[in-house]
Chain A
Amino acid sequence: ETAVFQTPNYHVTQVGNEVSFNCKQTLGHDTMYWYKQDSKKLLKIMFSYNNKQLIVNETVPRRFSPQSSDKAHLNLRIKSVEPEDSAVYLCASSTWGGQDTQYFGPGTRLLVL
C-alpha cells in the first residue's frame, strides 16, 4: 500500500531547464527526506525537513532547492539542470527519531539530455 506519493514517475528534459518534483505522504509523519540514487545505484541524502524546518542540507549544488508547504509535502526544485543530475530521486518520510522506519516513495527518474 503506497503512502508516499511522488510525481512525476519519469521526466526527460534539456540541459538548462527547470524541473520540479512533488512528494506527499499520508502517514502523518513530521519528517521528510530527499535522496538521490545515481547511475551507480548509490543512495545519498540531499535534504531532510522536520515540521517544515530544514534539518539536513548535504553538500548539493545550489540549483537544488527543497520546498515544504506543510509537513505532509516536500517538493524539490532544480533550477537549470545539468547532465549529472540524471538520477532517480527518492522521497521518504518518518516520525522524528533515528530508530524509526523511513518509508520511501517509488521515485522520480530524471533524464537530462
Chain B
Amino acid sequence: GDSVTQTEGQVTVSESKSLIINCTYSATSIGYPNLFWYVRYPGEGLQLLLKVITAGQKGSSRGFEATYNKEATSFHLQKASVQESDSAVYYCALSECNMGYKLTFGTGTSLLVDP
C-alpha cells in the first residue's frame, strides 16, 4: 500500500534560522499521487498548509515551500527563516484516485522554534 515517511519526529530551530522537514513517499498507482503538507498549530485543528498535484511543481504558503520530486519520491518542506509562530506539528500526506482519495499521512514532525 501507500506510505509516507517523515524521519524527524521532533525538530528544534532557533528563530530566523532555516528549516527543512524531510518527507519521502511510496505510492502504488502507475500515475503520480497528489502531495500535501498539513499543519496543526497548538490548540487548533488540522489544516492544509500547501499541496502540489503535478510532478516537478513547487507549492508555497506562509513562507513555506515544497517541491514534488518524482525521481527521488520526495516532498521536503522548507522555510528560509522560521518564526516562533511556526511552532506546530507538520504532516506530509498523499492521495491517489485508485485509493478513493483517502489521505495517507506520515507520522508528523513537531517543530519548536526557539525565540
Q: Are B97 and A98 in contact (CB under 8 A)?
A: yes
Q: Are A94 and B107 in contact (CB under 8 A)?
A: no
Chain B interface secondary structure, helix, strand, loop or mixed? mixed
Interface hits, B67-114 → A, CB 8 Å:
89, 91, 95-97, 99-105, 107-108
A-B contact pairs, 14 of them (CB 8 A): A2-B45, A40-B107, A41-B108, A44-B105, A50-B100, A55-B100, A56-B99, A58-B102, A97-B101, A98-B97, A99-B34, A99-B95, A100-B101, A102-B103
Summed over the interface, the residue pairs from A and B with CB atoms below 8 Å come to a total of: 62
Q: Which residue on B lies nearest to A58, using beta carbons?
A: B102
> Counting chain A CB atoms within 10 Å of each CB, which of B101, B104, B107, B108 scores highest?
B101
Q: Which residue on B lies nearest to A90, using beta carbons?
A: B46
Closest 9 CB pairs of A and B: A56-B100, A45-B102, A43-B105, A99-B53, A104-B46, A98-B95, A98-B101, A55-B100, A98-B34
Chain B interface residue count, CB cutoff 8 Å, equals 24
Q: What's the least CB distance linking B3 to chain A, in Å? A: 11
B97: chain A residues within 8 A (beta carbon): 98
Interface hits, A32-50 → B, CB 8 Å:
33, 35, 40-45, 48, 50
B91: chain A residues within 8 A (beta carbon): 43
| B47 contacts the other chain (CB 8 A) | yes
Q: Are A41 and B46 in contact (CB under 8 A)?
A: no
Which of B101, B104, B105 makes the CB contact (< 8 A) with A48? B101
B108: chain A residues within 8 A (beta carbon): 41-43
Q: Are B101 and A104 in contact (CB under 8 A)?
A: no
Alpha-carbon separation in the docked complex, A45 to B34 (Å): 16
Alpha-carbon separation in the docked complex, A4 to B44 (Å): 13
Alpha-carbon separation in the docked complex, A90 to B33 (Å): 23
Quick one: CB contact mask for B39-82 with A, threshold 8 Å, 1 for yes? 00000011110010100000000000000000000000000000
Q: Which residue on B lies nearest to A31, using beta carbons?
A: B101
